[in-house]
Amino acid sequence: MYDIDIFSLFHLLKNDMKRISIISLTLFTMLFSCKKVSETTPLSDFPNNVGNHWRYEFQSTDPVTKSYIDVDIIGTGKLPNGQLAKIWVYSFLNFRETNLSFRDTNYVVSDDKNVIIYTNPCRTCAKPQQMPYEKMKYVLPLKTGNFWLTPSIRDTTKVLANTVLKVPAGSFKNTFELSNKRAYVTNSWTNNTIWFTPNIGITKLKQSQFDLGPLPTNGNWELIDYSLK
């Protein structure tokens, strides 16, 4: 048998309870702080990092042909107003021969609220300091029923629905279907349907645009492969 000092035992237990309470409070504070940071730290739904790559299977509507469209963010450039933008290059490849047939470049500025896609600035124009026009705009976060205007070209974009989309690259939940339209103005019009998956990008596109003639990229785009940084 052991001699037990009841008062010593009481003090030991009391001290242990204090230590347990302090540890528990510390852990609770850490967990709460981490949760609070994650809830208040804005994360953009629009992937706009150098090194991002997307490949689409493209089927034109007139004439009916198949090819690839590669989209790559190749670096960071500066707009005439001094704002930094990511440089997006669209390469249109022959489906069988993989020969480059067409290339387009956009400058993209994004944050957690807005994405503005500009045409390629003209460095050799008479007024190189003139800003390129806005080609497309996204207002984040996307929500069904929201709509907005791209003033420079008078396009209206509306979020039609949130759906599940299946394309060759996979099945994507939480995908937003958007309409992007512009009525006939000076030999040009737009009637696009876009499927955009947050943190992935455009997963499908039905493009129908006219600018003094139909655009060579008119047709159906479906994502078949992507790599994000």
pLDDT, tens only, 152-195: 778 899 999 999 999 999 999 999 999 999 877 777 889 999 99
Asked if residue 138 lies in contact with residue 114, where contact means CB atoms within 8 angstroms, the answer is: yes
Asked if residue 91 lies in contact with residue 103, where contact means CB atoms within 8 angstroms, the answer is: yes
| In the chain, % of residues over pLDDT 90 | 53
- Of 131, 138, 74, whose CA–CA distance to 104 is shortest? 74
Asked if residue 156 lies in contact with residue 146, where contact means CB atoms within 8 angstroms, the answer is: no
The domain limits of the chain are 1-41, 53-74+108-118+134-227
pLDDT, tens only, 21-64: 444 444 334 433 333 322 222 347 999 999 999 999 999 876 66
pTM as predicted: 0.76
Q: How confident is the model at residue 16 (pLDDT cuts 50, 70, 90)?
A: low
Q: Count of alpha carbons within 13 Å of 90, Cβ hemisphere only?
A: 16
Asked if residue 118 lies in contact with residue 135, where contact means CB atoms within 8 angstroms, the answer is: yes
Please give the Cα distance from 229 to 223 (Å, whole number): 17
- Of 155, 152, 158, whose CA–CA distance to 184 is shortest? 155
Please give the Cα distance from 149 to 146 (Å, whole number): 11
